[in-house]
Chain A
């Protein structure tokens, strides 16, 4: 049974399936980006496959892959009637993260709508013909895509300007801004007696 899905995909899509592997029950097929939507329709509409439940959509950034498809788009679907699941992948984008585009799957599984928005928000992958492709987690003013490996880890983009230390009259760094003589009055006394 486990080979059925992958063999059907390979028989119908031919060269568009780049590679497949099946490990401890996890069936995975990698298709070319142009066949992304076609493969999804095939999974849903072939009676023997009947993938009716969309599970997950996400993306992984592999900067070392360079122009050969830096982002790996991962789709998980499940069939509630046949009780099998499959993982479909495709590789998009060049080394700079440009041209990362695939067809939207919203018309195949409506549940992919917000997942595609999240993938766009975090990774910057553009889903063609998505009905409402805008950020879902970050705010519209945010620049860049935070889960890309080249997003600077320390870069924050505050919506409210931070208070300056002059304005606050205290150190605002992530260090303890209080001396040993500050804190609760009775707690201090208790500590001075050597409690603990």
Chain B
């Protein structure tokens, strides 16, 4: 549906009308008025604070209003490790949110459990609730979070619910430098 839709922006003073599809109009309206519910459980919360504070400032993307009630919010940020004990709480929070709702897994732990491969941690929130965008990183840089936010806005505008993942802007493997270690001198054969 989304591929054929175009959006025309009317400048101030310009007159006339623009046609669009209702879904596209709704998506366009929704993507810039995200009401967040931050479900912050672990150290990624510090990075969430960096994202929301003035230096990075996700208010620029129309996503600055945190609602500390899931009933009033439509984007659930799962920030940090989800333990098995937290899982019913997260599930309940998600079920209280009204449609349409989106979920962002913030950080490696929320995405897949991270390095916690044990009895106490849920290996990724998608085991419990549907997840729309995964932002890997331990913790992710604010730039990566913005990639995730723009990705989710893109998905909202297009009406796509396929899960997607934030990829690194620079492939870290391309900058690898081979460190030359001095070869050990061969031992002189003692005869």
Q: Which residues of A contact B (CB under 8 A)?
A: 137-139, 146, 151, 153, 155-160, 162-163, 168, 170, 172, 174, 176-178, 182-185, 187, 190-191, 195-196
A residues near B62, Cβ cutoff 8 Å: none
A174 and B166 form a contact (CB under 8 A): no
* Cα distance A163–B128 in the bound complex, in angstroms: 6
A182 and B162 form a contact (CB under 8 A): yes
* Cα distance A19–B94 in the bound complex, in angstroms: 56
| Interface SS majority for chain B | loop
B88 and A172 form a contact (CB under 8 A): no
Contact string against A for B residues 72-109, beta-carbon threshold 8 Å, 1 for contact and 0 otherwise: 00000000000011011001000000000000000000
A157 and B84 form a contact (CB under 8 A): yes
Asked if B147 is an interface residue, CB under 8 A from chain A, the answer is yes
- How many Cβ-Cβ contacts under 8 Å join chain A to chain B? 78
7 contacts between A and B (CB under 8 A): A146-B118, A160-B87, A160-B128, A170-B126, A184-B167, A191-B171, A196-B174
* Cα distance A121–B170 in the bound complex, in angstroms: 45
Categorize the interface residue count of chain B: 20 to 34
B167 and A174 form a contact (CB under 8 A): no
B residues near A162, Cβ cutoff 8 Å: 127-128
B150 and A174 form a contact (CB under 8 A): no
A residues near B130, Cβ cutoff 8 Å: 163, 168
B residues near A158, Cβ cutoff 8 Å: 84, 87, 122, 127
Asked if B139 is an interface residue, CB under 8 A from chain A, the answer is no
A184 and B127 form a contact (CB under 8 A): no
A190 and B122 form a contact (CB under 8 A): no
A183 and B124 form a contact (CB under 8 A): no
A183 and B87 form a contact (CB under 8 A): no
* Min C-beta distance of B123 to chain A, whole Å: 6
* Cα distance A84–B155 in the bound complex, in angstroms: 63
Asked if B151 is an interface residue, CB under 8 A from chain A, the answer is yes
Chain B residue, CB-CB nearest to A163: B127
A residues near B175, Cβ cutoff 8 Å: 196
Residues A187 and B169 in contact in the complex (CB < 8 Å), given A139-B85, A146-B119: yes
* Cα distance A184–B170 in the bound complex, in angstroms: 13
A residues near B163, Cβ cutoff 8 Å: 170, 177-178
Tell me the residues in window 170-186 of chain B with beta carbons closer than 8 Å to chain A beta carbons: 170-171, 174-175
A196 and B166 form a contact (CB under 8 A): no
Asked if B70 is an interface residue, CB under 8 A from chain A, the answer is no
B119: contacting residue among A151, A160, A170, CB under 8 A: A151
Asked if B38 is an interface residue, CB under 8 A from chain A, the answer is no
B residues near A159, Cβ cutoff 8 Å: 84-85, 87-88
B162 and A184 form a contact (CB under 8 A): no
* Min C-beta distance of B140 to chain A, whole Å: 14
* Cα distance A170–B165 in the bound complex, in angstroms: 13
A146 and B87 form a contact (CB under 8 A): no
